[in-house]
């Protein structure tokens, strides 16, 4: 469905000097630096997949999406959506895709939704019957009825997002690109959008690619994650693998009868960085590096010293994984 091969996009930035003198200097200088926003990225996405495309701000997420939607022309490399090269056959590609930019509406400011949809119907040449069918479905799915005849400028952010989402789905695209679709939304609307994403994916086998910073979006919606950092792909796989690869720390909790405040680091012969101990009343929490310590060793040693009533082993949290990625630790 989507193939991306060695996709690279460079941006030229002219060197700027500080201050007024600097401004004049910049005016006459021709120095520039080339920054690779996307650097030889490869992946293939099959029909029906929901792929989360994640990374820090400026990692190259939007740039990749813009190349797949035909907005940007890559510097080198190739990408194909549905067998079409988007930046070469922009219009043809546009018929097959839907795009939502969370930060920017695609609706006409002064028009009510009902009218905007009417125009989109003409632009995408949607047959009347199909239009009615899709509209009824989307209205129900996203609860558009309550603001269907209000001008877009009067809609709340949540309503606008739902409307934008519906607008991108009217022509039943085979691929849907969502660039931060839940940004700034409240929890209820977020839920609604997530449900809609899953529903549409199930109903039409729509391939969906979304970028987000919201961890719940990733966990609830995506069945595959691609992580990009500094323009390079650093991970591609399922959520479980992601956690396995990137969640270096796991945690184990002991329910204890008496506090002893032992020096557990010494006991297990590890540095403090690899084992973080938190002992509170009747509770001992150990956060440990999974490569440095074995869970069985920890338990056997602790049980020797403490009187343990219960043990809970916690799965690595998505939050920790993402923090790890975002802090740039895994780059090396």
Q: Which is nearer to another protein, 83 or 118 (CB)?
A: 118
Q: x-or-dash pattern for another protein, window 179-218, by CB under 8 A?
A: xx--------------------------------------
CB of 289 to another protein, least distance (A): 35
For residue 119, state whether it binds another protein (rule: CB under 8 A): yes
Considering only 48-56, 103-111, 213-221, 245-253, which stretch makes contact with another protein by CB under 8 A? 103-111
For residue 27, state whether it binds another protein (rule: CB under 8 A). Answer: no
325 Cβ contact list (under 8 Å, min separation 6): 54, 55, 56, 227, 229, 234, 235, 246
For residues 10 and 320, which CB has a smaller minimum distance to another protein in the complex? 10
| CB of 9 vs another protein, minimal distance in Å | 9
Q: CA 182, CA 184: separation in Å to the nearest integer?
A: 6
Alpha-carbon distances of 148 from 99, 104, 116, 163, 183, rounded to whole Å: 20, 19, 10, 9, 22
Nearest-approach distance from CB 76 to another protein, in angstroms: 14
Binds another protein (CB under 8 A): choice among 81, 94, 169, 176: 94
* x-or-dash string of contact with another protein, 121-160, rule CB under 8 A: xxxxx-----------------------------------
Q: Report how far apart, in Å, the C-alpha atoms of 171 and of each of 17, 36, 138, 174, 195 are.
A: 48, 34, 11, 9, 19
- The span from the CA of 264 to the CA of 302, in Å, is 8
Taking CB under 8 A as the rule, does residue 285 contact another protein? no
CB-neighbour burial class of residue 116 (10 A; exposed 0-12, middle 13-18, buried 19+): buried
Q: Least CB distance from residue 182 to another protein, whole Å?
A: 14
Rounded CA separation 312/315 (Å): 10
CB of 184 to another protein, least distance (A): 12
326 binds another protein per the rule CB under 8 A: no
By CB under 8 A, name the one of 78, 95, 213, 290 that touches another protein. 95
- In the complex with another protein, the residue whose CB is nearer, 59 or 293, is 59
What is the rounded CA–CA span in Å between residue 116 and residue 139? 14
Edge-to-edge strand ranges of the sheet holding 76-81: 32-45, 2-14, 76-81
**CB neighbours of residue 6 within 10 Å:** 13
**Cα separation of 99 and 175, whole Å?**
9
**Which one, 60 or 316, has the nearer CB to another protein?**
60
Q: Which residues bind another protein (CB under 8 A)?
A: 11, 62, 66, 69-73, 90-92, 94-95, 97, 99, 101, 103-104, 106, 108, 110-111, 115, 118-119, 121-125, 179-180
């Amino acid at each position: 469905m989507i193939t991306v091969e060695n996709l690279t996009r460079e941006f030229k930035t002219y060197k700027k000097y500080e201050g007024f003198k600097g401004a004049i200097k910049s005016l006459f200088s021709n120095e520039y630096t080339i920054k690779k926003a996307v650097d030889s990225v490869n992946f293939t996405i099959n029909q029906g997949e929901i792929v989360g495309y994640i990374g820090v701000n400026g990692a190259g997420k939007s740039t990749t999406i813009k190349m797949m939607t035909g907005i940007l022309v890559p510097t080198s490399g190739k990408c194909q959506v549905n067998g079409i090269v988007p930046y070469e056959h922009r219009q043809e590609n546009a018929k097959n895709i839907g795009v939502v930019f969370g930060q920017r509406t695609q609706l006409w400011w002064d028009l009510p939704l009902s009218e905007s949809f009417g125009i989109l119907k003409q632009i995408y040449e949607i047959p009347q019957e199909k239009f009615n069918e899709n509209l009824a479905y989307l209205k129900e799915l996203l609860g558009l009825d309550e603001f269907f005849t209000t001008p877009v400028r009067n809609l709340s952010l949540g309503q606008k997002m739902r409307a934008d989402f519906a607008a991108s789905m009217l022509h039943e695209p085979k691929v849907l690109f969502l660039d931060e679709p839940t940004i700034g939304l409240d929890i209820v609307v977020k839920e609604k959008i997530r449900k809609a994403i899953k529903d549409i994916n199930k109903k039409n086998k729509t391939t969906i690619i979304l970028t987000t910073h919201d961890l719940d979006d990733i966990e609830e919606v995506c069945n595959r994650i691609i992580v990009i950092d500094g323009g390079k792909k650093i991970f591609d796989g399922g959520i479980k693998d992601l956690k396995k690869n990137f969640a270096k720390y796991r945690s184990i909790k002991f329910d204890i009868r008496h506090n002893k405040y032992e020096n557990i680091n010494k006991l297990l012969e590890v540095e403090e960085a690899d084992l973080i101990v938190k002992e509170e009343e009747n509770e001992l929490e150990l956060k440990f590096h999974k490569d440095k310590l074995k869970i069985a060793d920890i338990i056997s040693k602790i049980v020797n010293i403490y009187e343990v009533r219960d043990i809970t082993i916690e799965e690595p949290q998505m939050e920790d994984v993402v923090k790890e990625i975002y802090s740039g630790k895994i780059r090396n």
